[in-house]
Amino acid sequence: MRNDNRAHRRVRSPNFLTIFLVAAATVIPVIVALMLYEIGNGSLSAIRVFGLKFLYGTDWIPFPAKGGLPILGALPFIYGSIVTTTISLLLAVPVSLGVALFQAELSPRALRVPSVFVVEMLAAVPSVVYGLWALLVLVPVMRVYVDPSLQVTLGFLPLFSGFITGLGMLSAGVILAIMIIPYASSVVREVITAVPRSQREASLALGATSWETIRTSVLPFARTGIIAAIVLALGRAIGETMAVTMVIGNVARISPSLFLPAYTIPSVIANEFTEAIGDVHLQALIELGLVLFLVTILINGIARLVIVATTQKGTTPG
């Protein structure tokens, strides 16, 4: 009888673990909603003043020479963010996949632990350190060697024309790629490692080579995790501020040339937020933050749809 009462009290007592998990799961959407409300509320006046023209305007003149209302358009910053992020992904995704495959499948055991340690250490380096390294090392290398070589061979394309200074969207994309490689490769490595060993053994038993085993038995089962790693890298790249600010040149322009200076949304917010004069300028910067926030949500939503479609395709018979 005493045991029955104790069991009854245990059932009726609150499950603190369940309460904690529900609270933890609720905190995240609440924080996102509060952020969206605060940023949206802070940019209402700029939205009323500029409307949709703010998104496609190309001029950024916060202090007109003759006074009057500032002329503010966000398109140069949106363009710079998209171009630098695209460059970084084009460079980082193949390298990250190669690093992860080497560490998970091909690396000798004696080399695997040191290589994993180096990659994870790179992920812990502050972005300002990457920016300083880029100014001292990457920018001179790009100015003297990389950019002139690209201009000589591909100068007939608008992407590789223009005056070379070493500061520009290409340099910003390269340093972004270097920064996101550790994140993407770490996630991809863990995903590949999680593929059952039986998949590999079955492929090898059928006479497949190591590369054929990776291509047919490992990568198809890891594609969802690889997409998630790319999304993680994309989120890091599109929101990066300090390193990009130090090498992109910080000029509000839209140019097809990757060699010319440009601007990104995080860079202009970091440079001008503390020096903004007037409510319109300040709220326009907050609206830029709102645009970046919405773009990030949109990208993650599209990536989630891709993951769901890929997962369903992988589970479809035949």
CATH of the domain at 113: 1.10.3720.10
* pLDDT tens digits for range 93-146: 999 999 999 998 888 888 888 888 888 888 888 899 999 999 999 999 999 999
DSSP string, 204-266: HHTT--HHHHIIIIIHHHHHHHHHHHHHHHHHHHHT--HHHHHHSB------S-TTS-B--HH
How many Å apart are CA 275 and CA 300, to the nearest integer? 32
Evaluate whether residue 39 is within a structural domain.
no
**Shared domain check, 218 and 116:** yes
Mark residue 20 as left, alpha or beta (left: phi above 0; alpha: psi -120 to 50; beta: remaining): alpha
Evaluate whether residue 38 is within a structural domain.
no
Interior angle at CA 261, CA 257 and CA 267, nearest 5: 130
Which domain covers residue 21, as residue numbers?
A: 2-33
Evaluate whether residue 40 is within a structural domain.
no
**Shared domain check, 162 and 22:** no
149 pLDDT higher than 90: yes
Query: Which residue reads 């997409």 in tokens?
Result: 227
- What amino acid is encoded at 11 in this protein? V
Evaluate whether residue 48 is within a structural domain.
no
**Shared domain check, 84 and 14:** no
Structure confidence at residue 23 (pLDDT): 87
**Shared domain check, 156 and 23:** no
**Shared domain check, 137 and 15:** no
**Shared domain check, 299 and 175:** yes
Among residues 192, 177, 172, the alpha carbon closest in space to that of 105 is found at: 192
19 pLDDT higher than 90: no
4 pLDDT higher than 80: no
Mean pLDDT of all residues in the chain?
A: 86
Number of independent structural domains in the chain: 2
**Shared domain check, 257 and 147:** yes
Q: Provide the pLDDT confidence category of residue 206 given band limits of 50, 70 and 90.
A: confident
Structure confidence at residue 139 (pLDDT): 95
How many Å apart are CA 153 and CA 318, to the nearest integer? 46
**Shared domain check, 143 and 9:** no
**Shared domain check, 27 and 165:** no
CA 195 to the chain's CA centroid: 25
9 pLDDT higher than 90: no
